[in-house]
Amino acid sequence: MSSASRSRLAGGLGFRLTAGYGVLLTASLLCLHLLASWQLGRVLESRDRDAIRDEMAELLREYEDDGLRAIVEESDESAGNVSERPYFVQILNGDGAVLYSRLPLTPANPAQGLGNSEVDGDGGWSVVTLREGMEVELLTRRLSPDRLIQVGASTDERRAVQASFSRSLTIVSFVVLVAALLLGVLATRRLLAPLRELAGVTKDIAATAEVGRRLAVRGGGDELDVLAGQFNTMLDRIETLLNGMRGTVDNVAHDLRTPLTRIRGRAELALNAIADGGSRDQADEVLAETIEDSDQILSILNAIMDEAEADAGTLVLTIERVSLGDLASEVAELYEYVAEEKGVRIDLRLSSDVFINADRSRLRQALANLVDNAVKYSGEEGSVVIEVFEDGGFGTFRIRDSGPGIASHDLPRIWDRLYRGDPSRSTRGLGLGLSLVKAIVTAHEGTVEVSSLEGAGAVFVVRLRLASIAK
| Secondary structure, 3-state, the chain | CCHHHHHHHHHHHHHHHHHHHHHHHHHHHHHHHHHHHHHHHHHHHHHHHHHHHHHHHHHHHHHHHHHHHHHHHHHHHHHHCCCCCCCEEEEEECCCCEEEEECCCCECCHHHCCCCCCCCCCCEEEEEEECCCCEEEEEEEEEECCEEEEEEEECHHHHHHHHHHHHHHHHHHHHHHHHHHHHHHHHHHHHHHHHHHHHHHHHHHHHHCCCCCCCCCCCCCCHHHHHHHHHHHHHHHHHHHHHHHHHHHHHHHHHHHHHHHHHHHHHHHHHHHHHCCCCHHHHHHHHHHHHHHHHHHHHHHHHHHHHHHHHHCCCCCCCEEEEHHHHHHHHHHHCHHHHHHHCCEEEEECCCCCEEEECHHHHHHHHHHHHHHHHHHHCCCCEEEEEEEEECCEEEEEEEECCCCCCCCCHHHCCCCCCCCCCCCCCCCCCCHHHHHHHHHHHCCCEEEEEECCCCCEEEEEEEEECCCCC
pLDDT of 206 above 90: no
Say yes or no to pLDDT of 462 above 90. Answer: yes
Q: How far apart are CA 225 and CA 215, in angstroms?
A: 9
* Cα gap 61→37, rounded to integer Å: 36
* CATH 1.10.287.130 domain locations along the chain: 223-312
- Nearest-angstrom CA–CA distance, 414 and 438: 10
Residue 386's pLDDT is: 92
Cβ neighbour number for residue 307 with a 10 Å cutoff: 21
Instruction: Please choose, from the candidates 368, 359, 362, 357, the residue with its C-alpha nearest in 3D space to the C-alpha of residue 330.
Output: 368
**Average pLDDT of span 250-258:** 69
Contact indicator for 357, 429 with CB cutoff of 8 Å = no
Q: Are strands 394-401 and 320-323 parallel, antiparallel or unpaired?
A: unpaired
According to the model, what pLDDT value does residue 190 have?
76
Looking at residue 80, what is its pLDDT? 55
Q: Model confidence over 278-295: pLDDT tens digits? A: 666 666 777 777 787 787
User: pLDDT per residue over 399-442, tens digit each?
Assistant: 999 888 887 777 777 777 655 555 433 344 445 678 888 888 98
Instruction: Report the pLDDT value the prediction gives residue 111, as an integer from 0 to 100.
Output: 47
Least confident of 87-91, 300-304, 375-379: 300-304
- Of residues 293 and 152, more confidence is placed in 152
Whether residue 24 is predicted with pLDDT greater than 80 in this model: the reply is yes
223-312 placed in CATH 3.90.1150.150: no
Q: How far is 247 from 222, CA to CA, in rounded Å?
A: 37
**What pLDDT does 461 receive?**
93
| Residue 91 pLDDT | 84
Predicted local distance difference test score (pLDDT) of residue 255: 67
User: 23-27, 157-161, 411-415, 448-452: lowest mean pLDDT where?
Assistant: 411-415
Please list the residue range(s) of the chain that carry CATH number 3.30.450.
Answer: 3-160
**Using 50, 70 and 90 to split pLDDT, how confident is the model at 1?**
very low
Is 382:457 a contact under the CB 8 Å cutoff?
no
Q: Is the pLDDT of residue 159 over 60?
A: yes
Judged by average pLDDT, the poorest of 123-137, 181-195, 405-419 is 405-419
Q: Residue 20 and residue 303: Cα distance in Å, rounded?
A: 57
| Residue, of 26 and 297, whose pLDDT is higher | 26
Model confidence pLDDT, tens digit, residues 372-407:
888 888 877 788 999 999 988 899 999 999 888 887
* Most confident among 282-286, 310-314, 344-348 (mean pLDDT): 344-348
**Over 50: is that where the pLDDT of 107 sits?**
yes
| CA end-to-end span of the chain | 49
Q: What is the structure's pLDDT at 410?
A: 75
Kindly report the average pLDDT of the chain as a whole number.
Answer: 78
φ/ψ bin of 123: left (φ > 0), alpha (ψ from -120 to 50), beta (otherwise): left
pLDDT in the model for residue 10: 46
More confident residue, 81 or 100: 100
Of 332 and 260, the structure prediction assigns the larger pLDDT to 332
CA distances from 430 to 47, 313, 408, 412, 436 (A): 98, 23, 21, 18, 11
CATH class given for the domain over 320-465: alpha beta
> Could you tell me which CATH class the domain 3-160 is placed in?
alpha beta
Domain with CATH 3.30.565.10 in the chain: 320-465
Least confident of 225-234, 327-336, 460-469: 225-234
pTM of the model: 0.47
What amino acid is encoded at 255 in this protein? D
